[in-house]
Amino acid sequence: MIIDFHTHTFPDNIAAPTLDKLKHLSHTHPFTDGTGSGLEASMSAAGVDYSLVLPVATSVRQVAHINDASAQLNQTGRKLLSLGCMHPDYPDWKHELDRIAALGLKGIKLHPVYQGVDFDDPRCLRILERCGELDLLVVTHAGLDVGYPDKRNVTPAMIRRAVDQTGPVRLVLAHMGGWRCWDEAEQLLADTGVFLDTAFSLGELTPLGDGYYGPADLKLMERETFLRMVRTFGAHRVLFGTDSPWGGQAEELARLRSVGLEADELDAILGGNAQKLLGI
């Protein structure tokens, strides 16, 4: 089974303008049209069995609506699954996390860069603590963000401080623990229980073609660094993710299959680990 643990979709009526805004912000080219049906077409072409949609609440007013829509998506029987969301400034955060659990959602997505808060801020710590109590997964953006390269809201050092201050929680760090902060992530986080996803880490950026990036800016994680991190953290803590629409599912699968993993490592990363976390 192949499970893409890190994807994004947008409602059909706003997908085109949202994608247009984000691609110019990041200066990168998307691989789908950003809709659910576009992601399903990508999955069919690539041979992906399930995709996990990670919704981001950029304001508090979006939280309850997104969580309701996510729960409805999970009831459709489609191969798209969704987590819920939370914003660190949401007034009734504790009640909403309880409601997320009651809706049957497996966890939440945080994106501190888009939410304007540091990951080791008390507003995030209380969310991590409650999610641990409710056995909810927390998936967070980690490291720099391609659209906001000067913002440092989720550094490996912040993640380490947060993990050290909260109780047990199943925490998944996107982008191999810290986008463009991989050495620091390996040094500070390997002895914790965090999971990593592979989204937007291997290979190169796919530039928009507007001249923003030079050739040296495009390269992402080196193959040797990726393999070393997999074995330092353990393949049982790594999850395949593409960040679709910003990564192509067929392309990322081919890249992961060619990087030099052992067969059992590849099986675990492509789907085995996600099956356990999501109860599939």
Domains in the chain, number? 1
The per-residue pLDDT for 152 is: 95
Asked whether residue 46 is domain-assigned, the answer is no
Asked whether residue 4 is domain-assigned, the answer is no
Among 256, 48, 139, which residue's Cα sits nearest to residue 39? 48
CATH number of domain containing 175: 3.20.20.140
The per-residue pLDDT for 184 is: 98
The per-residue pLDDT for 40 is: 98
Asked whether residue 12 is domain-assigned, the answer is no
Asked whether residue 100 is domain-assigned, the answer is yes
pLDDT, tens digit, for every residue of 174-228? 999 999 999 999 999 999 999 999 999 999 999 999 999 999 999 999 999 999 9
The per-residue pLDDT for 82 is: 98
Strand partners, 52: 81
Asked whether residue 3 is domain-assigned, the answer is no
Q: At 269, is the secondary structure helix, strand, or coil?
A: helix
The per-residue pLDDT for 235 is: 98
pLDDT, tens digit, for every residue of 42-61? 999 999 999 999 999 999 99
Q: What is the mean pLDDT of residues 268-276?
A: 98
Which domain covers residue 223, as residue numbers? Answer: 56-204+216-237+255-278
For 211-240, give one letter per residue: b (16+ CB within 10 A) or e.
Answer: eebeeeeeebbeeebbeebbeebebebbbb
Asked whether residue 97 is domain-assigned, the answer is yes
**Ramachandran category for residue 177: left, alpha or beta (phi over 0 → left; psi -120 to 50 → alpha):** left
Asked whether residue 188 is domain-assigned, the answer is yes
Residue bearing tokens 């997999």: 230
The per-residue pLDDT for 12 is: 95
Say what the pTM is: 0.97
Residue bearing tokens 């909260």: 166
Which parts of the chain fold into alpha helices (H)? 12-26, 36-46, 63-74, 93-102, 112-115, 122-134, 156-165, 182-189, 215-218, 223-233, 249-257, 263-267, 273-278
Rounded to the nearest integer, the mean pLDDT of the chain is 97
Asked whether residue 233 is domain-assigned, the answer is yes
What percent of the chain is predicted at pLDDT more than 90?
A: 99
